[in-house]
Structure 1
Amino acid sequence: MRYLQLRIRYPPEARHPMQQFLVEQESIRRAYLRHWNFSNPDSVTTLFHVVGDVATGREDYLAALDDVPTVREYDTTPVDDRSFYVYVREAADAHARRLRELLADTDLLVVPPIEYGTDGETVFEVAGEPAELRALVAGLPDELSVSVDRLGEYDAHRESRATALTDRQRAVLDVARELGYYEVPRRTGVREIADELGCSKSTAADHLRKAEARLVALYADRTPTGAARRD
């Protein structure tokens, strides 16, 4: 089974209001659509993991939800000072129909999460047979800006690298990556990461070490027994 990662940029007029909210503000960094239910033709139920500066961005996010006319109800659950969950029940509008129609008449599967960023892009992975994956890409509307970021054999273990981390570890890695900690040369240090997170330098360093150790362990688990080593 093959998979591909699609990066789609919708024009502003085609974005869901909450996608446009992400573009227009600075506190919320991204929203991950973790689970969804499209079985009801009149509504769609979704669960989002919203990541950012909760202290300054959460109320703005919820106020924006209140302003979306298709949203019927929502509920929130805090995670930490960097993220929270939002359960949303929304009337099926054009945006929901586009998600339904994307995989109509195919056996393809969208692999959660679907990521919405502050640049107006939507990133998600689709798994299935190569011919259907090619047809999916070829059939996307011309007005969309589309790129294929990854393509290969599907490997669920690859996904476990991120899901094996705690929410706090993922938040620290997100901030470290965004500030340029993993660029060469590095553009920031642990002190700046800690300041962004609002924690001590030792706490940020501890989260980074534990997250990196977990990812290295998962990578080691994938190495075939008896594989050749280079010293």
Structure 2
Amino acid sequence: MRYATIVLTWGPDVSVHPVDDLLSGTDDVTVETIQYVGPVYEGRYVEFVELHGDLDVARALLTDSPETVEFDIVGEKGRGVLYLHCRTAGLVDDLLTILREQQIVLDWPMQYIDTGGERGLQLTVLGTSEAIRRAAGDVPDGIKLRLERMGEYEPDMGNLSSILTERQEALFDLAVREGYYEVPRETTHRELADELDLTTGTVSERLQRIEAKLVGAYVD
């Protein structure tokens, strides 16, 4: 069995997922991951989505959205999980249909990433090489696909590459090599930011997200 980790990106004129579309007009809250999407009945869907930011803003926008049937958000301190019963899943459902038709398994969750100003989804799929190739050829127009890694699937793939995105893994590796996690610290956010040509705020936020993922994986 093979696995492939891919990144899908799209332009501002492409509607991929209703929650992401709804929150795209605000910087107060963003979608982090899609934990699950599935059809229920009469063209409606249920999904679980991880949010980051002002959860009250998300509640207000979802309440006013015509796509919302019902929802609930749990969480605190800027991180929450959204349960949503909605009228459409956008192109995400088209992507899931492609996987089903090609007998490919999706390794949930799907991770939202920012790729140079474009929104993107990183996901890992499992199947035969031929099935993965066919599915890649069926990706809808307007969606760009980039293969990040592919190889033989192993049941104990609980390594960094299965937890972090490629960009997060690169930052974490640099932070470890430069002594960020030594006591006392041997480098700073500013020095890491200069090395990667990023702002200190971006480095700080990304390290917090990396650490949250690693702690969550350890607890699990």
- Unpaired runs of 5+ residues, structure 1, are 165-169, 198-203, 216-231
SS of residue in 2 equivalent to 1:99: helix
How far is the alpha carbon of 1:85 from its aligned partner? 0.9
Could you tell me which amino acid in structure 1 is paired with residue 36 of structure 2?
A: H
Tell me if the contact between 1:44 and 1:96 (Cα under 8 Å) persists in the aligned partners: no
Report the Cα distance in structure 1 between the residues aligned to 2:71 and 2:81, rounded to whole angstroms: 10
Structural mapping, 1:108-147, within 5 Å: 108-118=104-114, 119-147=118-146
Q: 1:3 is matched with which residue?
A: 3
- Please name the residue that 1:167 is paired with: none
Q: Which runs of 5+ in 2 are unaligned?
A: 180-186, 191-199
The two structures have a TM-score, normalised by structure 2, of 0.66
How many residues are matched?
A: 186
Shift of the 112–73 alpha-carbon distance from structure 1 to 2, 3 Å rule, reads: same
User: Equivalences for 1:24-173 in 2 at 5 Å?
Assistant: 24-28=25-29, 30-51=31-52, 53=53, 57-78=54-75, 80-92=76-88, 94-95=90-91, 97-118=93-114, 119-159=118-158
Q: Do the aligned partners of residues 30 and 42 (structure 1) sit closer, same or farther apart at CA in structure 2, a change above 3 Å counting?
A: closer
Q: Distance in 2 between matches of 1:163 and 1:11?
A: 26
1:108 Cα deviation (Å)? Answer: 0.4
Q: In the alignment, is the contact (CA less than 8 A) between 2:50 and 2:81 conserved in 1? A: yes
Distance 1:182 1:89 in 2: 42
Residue number in structure 1 paired with 2:196: none
Counterparts of 2:90 and 2:27, CA distance in 1: 27
Higher Cα radius of gyration = 1
1:67-98 Cα distance to aligned partner (Å, 9 max, x none)? 432111101111x4141111001113543541
| In 2, Cα distance between equivalents of 1:75 and 1:49 | 12
DSSP 3-state at the match of 1:103 = helix
Q: CA deviation at 1:155?
A: 3.0
Deviations 1:155-203 (A, max 9, x none): 3432476999xxxxx9xxx7xx59x8568696607xx88xx68xxxxxx
Question: 1:36 offset after TM fit, Å?
Answer: 2.8
Which secondary structure state, in structure 2, belongs to the residue aligned with residue 132 of structure 1? helix
The question of whether the paired residues in 1 share the 8 Å contact of 2:104 and 2:131 is answered with yes
Q: Retained in 2: the 8 A contact 1:30–1:50?
A: yes
The alignment's C-alpha RMSD in Å is 3.9
Report Cα offsets for 1:37-86 as digits up to 9, x if no partner. Answer: 225352111111213x3xxx2122222323432111101111x4141111
Contact kept? 1:23, 1:120, Cα under 8 Å: no
Q: CA contact under 8 A between 1:7 and 1:146: conserved in structure 2?
A: yes
Distance 2:148 2:97 in 1: 22
Question: Alignment identity in percent?
Answer: 15
CA distance in 2, matches of 1:99, 1:141: 8
* Change in CA separation of 1:160 and 1:149 when aligned onto 2, cut-off 3 Å: closer
